[in-house]
Amino acid sequence: MTGGADAGRAEASGDRAVAAGGGIGRVNTGDFVTQVERATLLPPEALTVSPDGLVHLPERTKLFVGRARELAALSEGTGVQVICGLGGIGKSTLAARWVADRTADHAVVWWITAETPAELDAGLADLARAMQPGVVGVLPEDALRERALQWLATHDDWLLVLDNVSAPADLRPLLARVGNGRIVVTSRRASGWQDIGRTVVLDVLGPAEAAELFTGVCHADDGLGELCAELGYLPLALKQASAYCAEAGITPRAYLGLLAEHPAEMFAATEEGGEAARTLARVWQVTLERLTGTPDAEDMLRIIAWWAPEGISRRLFDPLWTPLEVTEAVRRLAAHSMITLSGGELAVHRLVQAVVRAGPAKATGAAREVATRLLYVALSQAEVGADRHILGHVEALAGHTDSADDSGVAAELFQLAGVHFGMGTAVSRALPMCERALRSLHRTHGPEHPQTLTAMQTLALNLDMVDGAGAAAELLTEGLAGQLRVAGPDDPRTLSTRGHLARVLRKSEPERAKELFQENVAQSHRILGPRHPRTIFARYELLGAALGERIDVTALEELVADAERASPEDPILCDTIRRSLIRALAATGETERAVTLAAEAIEKSSRRYGAEDSRTFMSRLVEVLVLQQSAQAERAGALKAVLLEDCLRVVGECELTVLLRRMEP
């Protein structure tokens, strides 16, 4: 074919040769027919780049803070790099910021939204059009994509950003053709990149960076720290909240109130003219839709939405799924960055939890009940001083729910948590659990149900430990009357309630307390026998009431011996009486023996319960007190400091840590 004056003229020679001029639709050589649809021939140099380079990037955001470590990691890398992390954590923003500073280093810098293979192909076709506008409307899409791939394969001065890639497999056809330039990938997918490139895992911002990002849009600072913490320092959530506060003219504290009252609406809210798809609700809904193929993963996410965001053990799901099913659900959630894994435990961002809880009422309500039952099973099987993470999950569940919606299982769970907190000396955490349990059990079971009466007793005991003796006495008096009506005078629960009431009244009404203790000793002897732990404990309490300020070491030694022979065996009873004996020995001047027994008590407790159990901590406290009384202040101070550190690490702030701080140096 020739141009100019000869345009349209065609010549051919040879057997069955074909010549065509102008446009031709069909060629028939006799053997076959070839259909030609608007053929266009392009020379190899058709795709060219201007000397100034070709750049296509999103508008550079001014709201960019921190990320120095991640920017440095990108700068040190080569070839393919993958920025992965939770939706809304700032992957695209980071990529745009890093790439924008490198446009002068590459002939082509091109951004492609590549959530699907079709979008990736369309982005490559757009690159070909930008390189040669003359082919627009001439070549079909697949031909344009091919032209772009050919150019990328034969050049190395280019940089592609493939944004929001769903799966590593979507990139394999591209990577098989090109490999000399640089590619930055962003993806919520956290795994599967090991054969493709180096990953840069993005985490949330630090508190100071989060505040800086927020105040870049809204300068109000009332409640700013609390809001940033509540939003989990997630960039998208901070941008969404700051834009809302600026437009509505409200403070971060006011936004916190709206978020608590109307979570679903606030997670879906966007600024005027903003992109609706870039809200928390929409960003994570995309991922939730991808999990529908693995129902267990979706169910797991809905369950853990009601728990604390960290310290989620896989063992909690044992009553629900097989180990393989649990592993597969965890794998899917981790692969989509909806959870993170640390030391075998799961963690989930608090806003992911909040968005999931704000989902369809039927699904979230069912998940709440499952979450409640799983915690109840775990806590009912736990020893005293249960895994602190389980108790943290119970507290989180209570915080996310209203007592009016508590089922009977939920009420029993909160009662059980109150017992564990009280036994661990964390009375300030026990009281809300006990109060919630009593309120809910009263509503679900009635005022004289055995569990309601037990909850009343548990609350009273914890109140007594924080100088609430008056309220405790009222509850126990009411509880004792209820136990007598429901269970009768010979029931062990009646004996227990009477003993607790006597203990509370010991200071305010010592004579009445002594009478109640004496009644308990007599009843226990008659009903349970002299060797039963309840009988021995009743004698121990009567001894304390009768002694007043006087200490009878011989009587305590006899009780220790009887407790060691008790049937059934009761280690807690032995420990309790033995600690009293150690304190009595120290007070009467037998400090050397007291110190020896204190060390033996710690060793026994550590062996029986573990070194980080609250009962072992109590034995260590007794040792500190005995050392102080034996004029070994330096050693006592050193042991106290270590004990305080251990308590804070294992239990957190509690009555024991308060007591340790108040003790003399």
Identify the pLDDT of residue 137. Answer: 76
C-alpha span between 337 and 188 (Å, rounded): 6
**Does residue 372 contact residue 405 with C-beta atoms inside 8 Å?**
no
**Does residue 559 contact residue 541 with C-beta atoms inside 8 Å?**
no
C-alpha span between 191 and 186 (Å, rounded): 12
C-alpha span between 93 and 382 (Å, rounded): 46
The amino acid at residue 135 is: V
**Helix (H) and strand (E) counts in the chain:** 29, 10
Residue labelled with tokens 């120095």: 68
**Does residue 75 contact residue 132 with C-beta atoms inside 8 Å?**
no
Region 346-374 average pLDDT: 92
Identify the pLDDT of residue 21. Answer: 44
Q: What is the pLDDT of residues 252-272, one digit of tens each?
A: 999 999 888 888 788 777 655
Highest mean pLDDT among 333-347, 415-429, 447-461: 447-461
Share of the chain above pLDDT 70, in %: 88
Q: Which among 84, 87, 83, 85 is positioned nearest to 287, based on CA atoms?
A: 87
pTM for this prediction:
0.76
Identify the pLDDT of residue 657. Answer: 87
Region 350-373 average pLDDT: 91
- Which of these ranges, 43-47, 97-101, 430-434, has the smallest mean pLDDT? 43-47
**Does residue 333 contact residue 291 with C-beta atoms inside 8 Å?**
yes
Q: Look at the chain and count its residues.
A: 665
Region 144-152 average pLDDT: 90
- pLDDT of 18 strictly over 60: no
Other Cβ atoms less than 10 A from the Cβ of 320: the count is: 17
Region 93-112 average pLDDT: 93
C-alpha span between 332 and 192 (Å, rounded): 12
The amino acid at residue 559 is: L
Query: If pLDDT is split at 50, 70 and 90, which confidence band does 333 have?
Result: very high
Identify the pLDDT of residue 383. Answer: 64
- pLDDT of 141 strictly over 50: yes
- Which residue blocks in 305-360 are alpha helix, DSSP H? 323-335, 350-357
Q: What is the pLDDT of residues 193-227, one digit of tens each?
A: 998 999 999 999 999 999 999 999 999 889 999 99
C-alpha span between 271 and 276 (Å, rounded): 9
Residue labelled with tokens 């005995």: 626
Residue 54 pairs with which residues in a beta bridge?
A: 108
Region of 67 (left: φ > 0; alpha: ψ -120 to 50; beta: rest) is: left
What average pLDDT does the structure give for the chain?
A: 86
Report CA 651 to chain centroid distance, whole Å: 18
C-alpha span between 143 and 102 (Å, rounded): 29
- pLDDT of 274 strictly over 60: no
- pLDDT of 38 strictly over 80: no
- pLDDT of 477 strictly over 90: yes
Report which of residues 642 and 507 the model is more confident about. Answer: 642
Write the CA distances from 628 to 595, 623, 636, integer angstroms.
10, 9, 6
Torsion angles phi and psi, residue 333, rounded to 5? -65, -40
The amino acid at residue 340 is: T
C-alpha span between 360 and 112 (Å, rounded): 34
Share of the chain above pLDDT 90, in %: 58
C-alpha span between 289 and 609 (Å, rounded): 46
Query: If pLDDT is split at 50, 70 and 90, which confidence band does 29 have?
Result: very low
Identify the pLDDT of residue 78. Answer: 87
Q: What is the pLDDT of residues 483-494, one digit of tens each?
A: 999 999 989 899
Identify the pLDDT of residue 46. Answer: 59
Region 89-107 average pLDDT: 92
Q: What is the pLDDT of residues 504-536, one digit of tens each?
A: 998 889 899 999 999 999 999 999 999 999 999
- pLDDT of 5 strictly over 90: no
**Does residue 205 contact residue 235 with C-beta atoms inside 8 Å?**
yes
Q: What is the pLDDT of residues 299-324, one digit of tens each?
A: 999 999 999 999 999 999 999 999 99
Query: If pLDDT is split at 50, 70 and 90, which confidence band does 386 have?
Result: low
Q: Which among 53, 88, 201, 348 is positioned nearest to 356, based on CA atoms?
A: 348
Region 7-36 average pLDDT: 45
Region 458-465 average pLDDT: 91
What is the rounded end-to-end Cα distance, in angstroms, of the chain? 102
